[in-house]
Amino acid sequence: MGFGPLLLLASLEGLVTAATLALMALGLSLVFGVMRVVNVAHGEFFMLGAVVAWAVSTAFAGHPAIGFTAALLVAPLVVGAVAFLAERLVLKRLNYDPEATIVATIGLLYIVQQLALTFYGADARPVQPPFNPRIQLPWFGYSGYKLGVIAAAGVLLAGVWFVLARTRAGLVMRATQYDAETAQAFGIPVGRVYAGVFALGAMLAAVAAVLVVPVSQAHYLMGRDPLLLSFVVVIIGGLGSLRGTVVAALLIGLSDGIISTLFFSPTLAKILATLLVALVLVFRPQGLFGTAAR
């Protein structure tokens, strides 16, 4: 393969990463933006989504699309319920104190990870994609399912944007984000909004996980790297900026795909890329699309 086709392949792989990363980072950004909580357990919600997706899809016989569709419905609900419970039982009682919530979500991370290891095991297990036609490009064939992942993420992101910008629920969320006390005074049930946002953030991670399981398998440690990457995406994109999150996810996903496909020494490339992103942050701390902190 020549350089051009290789670059195209690398970009397509990067787009798949970017698609799931954008969904996951959006969940993290929502939770941090509205509640000021740094959710270290976000990667475990992602992992939990993938594990539940495996469990659900293997429970259904017949065409893989049936099991996958069921997983797409069940996994976010289960993960959302876990997040909702964690919010009501723990985070609420901490009054969303930034440092205490970090420790609490690290505790949650340990618990979820250990339960996954105990009940699911240490193996990586695949899920059948619901459809997978081979799309023949002039230079190579490409997985149709991966293109489907990119499209699905695009639709979901548009949906989240619509909810945030055009519906009453979105307005309530934005009001809470802007000034929780004033929102409370105007009769917005801030506590319930927080619980809902925390569950919604976890559900976005779970959806991203269900989409990614058919291409990368479910494993109990799979949450760690996406968590770090989504932190980077959230910060680079600028907090609370949907557009920034998507652009940053594209940037990180594409550079990740291109670096790991084209360069000779992935470790050196990773060192340089990490350093570069860190320096971008050092000289533009508010992120690419963020406004200066209030």
Interacting residues with another protein (CB under 8 A): 32, 38, 40, 90, 93-94, 97, 99-100, 102-104, 106-111, 113-115, 117-118, 224, 228, 231-232, 235, 239, 265, 267-268, 270-271, 274-275, 277-279, 281-283, 285-287, 293
What is the separation of C-alpha 78 from the centre of its chain, rounded to a whole number of angstroms?
Answer: 16
Tell me whether strands 141-143 and 134-136 are parallel, antiparallel or unpaired.
antiparallel
Nearer to another protein, 3 or 283 (CB): 283
Minimum distance between the CB of residue 98 and another protein, rounded to whole angstroms?
A: 8
Shortest distance, position 282 Cβ to another protein, whole Å: 5
Instruction: For another protein, give the closer residue by CB, 164 or 235.
Output: 235
- Taking the complex as a whole, the smallest distance from the CB of residue 123 to another protein amounts, in Å, to 17
The answer to whether 260 and 273 are in contact (CB under 8 A) is no
Classify the C-alpha dihedral 6-10-13-19 as positive or negative: negative
Give least dist CB 292 to another protein, A: 10
Q: Shortest approach of another protein to residue 194 CB, angstroms?
A: 17
The residue among 165 and 279 lying less far from another protein, judged by its C-beta, is: 279
Q: Closest approach of Cβ 287 to another protein, in Å? A: 8
Neighbours of 157 (CB within 10 A): 19
| Residue in the block written with tokens 């594209």 | 250
Q: How far apart are CA 12 and CA 75, in angstroms?
A: 26
Q: How far is Cα 42 from Cα 286, in angstroms, rounded to an integer?
A: 22
For residue 79, give every residue at least 6 positions away whose Cβ sits within 8 Å of its Cβ, in sequence order, or none: 45, 48, 49, 52, 202, 203, 205, 206
Quick one: 76 or 240, whose CB is closer to another protein? 240
Which amino acid, residue 217? Q
Q: Which is nearer to another protein, 82 or 127 (CB)?
A: 82
Of the two residues 58 and 286, which places its CB atom closer to another protein in the complex?
286
